[in-house]
Amino acid sequence: MRSLIACIVAALLALVCAATALSKETAKELARQPGWGRVYTVSGKVAVRENPALDALTVRVLKSGQKVRVDFVDDGWAAVFDPAEMVRAETRAQGYVRLAELHAEASPGAKPEALPRSEKPAKPEKPAKPPAADQAKKTGAKKQAPPQPFGEIRVADRKMAVRAGRDKDTEFKRLLPAGKRVRVDFLEDGWFAVFDPEEKVRDLSRAWGYGRDKFLVPEKDYAGQPLPEATEPAGKEAPAKGAQKQKNGDAVAYAVLSRQADLLRPLAPVVLRVRLDMPAPPAPEALRKIVREIWKAERRKNEDLQVEVLLPGMEKDGLAFAVARFHDDGRLKEFWWREVVLRTKR
């Protein structure tokens, strides 16, 4: 009898241990989930379009049962991402789908109710609620403490790349010049998540990307020349260099080379030539988002603006790598790129 009781107790203990281990795994898994957007399960075939318009090019087709992360909802359309996508940036979207064609599935960070068709786009500046914040809300915490600075301020000790992931082969996000101050946190595998130095919200989705820890030194250890902008308030553009300006369009730096209107043809578009500050050409999908951001930032009132993109080393007046024309509402009307310019040494 005693041995039977001992066996039952042992079995119960084993069950408790297994349950504890399982809940830890689940918690870890949840922590790995990006805390933004919503995960949807596709029912039936759904076309992913390059723009939020029915006549836009279909860039891929989602199959039934496939999961996608969805955000940047606008007028019944939403940007779709890989479900594991950590960075909430529209430039990383695979394309756009009509929300009506998707089927919602609950997920961490997702709202339980269905999104209305007329929902306005979530602004990238607005931080996605981290799971911890949700938990605080559920447990009855009435007031949240104001966000405090997190991580630490470090300085790039050389010109270095900020990338989309903790790997040198991931997508290039932006270039940090030597002396650039940044806020860093989430150190993992020798890579920091890199933020704006004035960032107050400790949320990976607000990071610029990831940078190697060994090139980001504490301020006191930095021996090089500081950047003039380092002492300026955050968000201010770098000083213009000649006729060129350094700007950021959704985490991609670019310089405006020229802006020309054809005086003989008043209906012809104004041509804006920009040079991207990227060592490697971006993929066409990313380039579409980049040109749209540039158009949004550079277009003057009611202007028909054509954006021409050049890469470092290309002749200022030479053949552009990519050209984009837009509808008045910012949707891409025409977009093409020339790989031939990549075939010659720059």
Partner 1 sequence: MYQTPMSRSILLRHPFFSAVILMLLLAPWPALAEQKIGFVNPQRVVNETRLGKTAKADLARYVAEKDRLAKASAVQIETLRKEAEAPGLSAQDRTRREELLRRKAAQHEQLLSENARDIKAEETRLLQYVMRRAEAVLEDLGKKGGYAIIFTDPAAVGYVDKASVDLTERVAQELDGRGK
Q: Is there binding between residue 344 and partner 1 (CB under 8 A)? A: yes
Q: Is there binding between residue 265 and partner 1 (CB under 8 A)? A: no
Bridge partners of 254, per DSSP, are 247, 276
CB-based contact 151:183 (threshold 8 Å): yes
Q: How far is the CB of 318 from partner 1 (least distance, A)?
A: 8
CA distance 276 to 280: 10
Strand 191-195 versus strand 181-188 pairing type? antiparallel
Q: How far is the CB of 187 from partner 1 (least distance, A)?
A: 37
Bridge partners of 274, per DSSP, are 256, 309
| Span of 136-144, 180-188, 255-263, 337-345 interacting with partner 1 by CB under 8 A | 337-345
Q: Is there binding between residue 342 and partner 1 (CB under 8 A)? A: yes
- Total binding residues for partner 1 by CB under 8 A? 16
CA distance 12 to 32: 30
CA distance 84 to 58: 22
Q: How far is the CB of 345 from partner 1 (least distance, A)?
A: 7
* Residue 331 identity: R
Q: Is there binding between residue 334 and partner 1 (CB under 8 A)? A: yes
Q: What token pair was written down for 268?
A: 């012809």
Bridge partners of 310, per DSSP, are 275
Q: Is there binding between residue 262 and partner 1 (CB under 8 A)? A: no
Q: How far is the CB of 331 from partner 1 (least distance, A)?
A: 12
Bridge partners of 74, per DSSP, are 77
State which residue, 55 or 329, has the beta carbon closest to partner 1: 55
| Span of 86-94, 160-168, 291-299, 334-342 interacting with partner 1 by CB under 8 A | 334-342
Q: How far is the CB of 337 from partner 1 (least distance, A)?
A: 8
> In whole angstroms, how far apart are CA 255 and each of 249, 272, 275, 310, 329?
10, 11, 5, 10, 24
Bridge partners of 47, per DSSP, are 61
State which residue, 134 or 334, has the beta carbon closest to partner 1: 334
Which residue from 2, 5, 55, 145 is in contact with partner 1, where contact means CB under 8 A?
55
State which residue, 55 or 189, has the beta carbon closest to partner 1: 55
Q: Is there binding between residue 291 and partner 1 (CB under 8 A)? A: no
Which residues in this chain contact partner 1 in the complex, by CB under 8 A? 55, 57, 319, 333-345
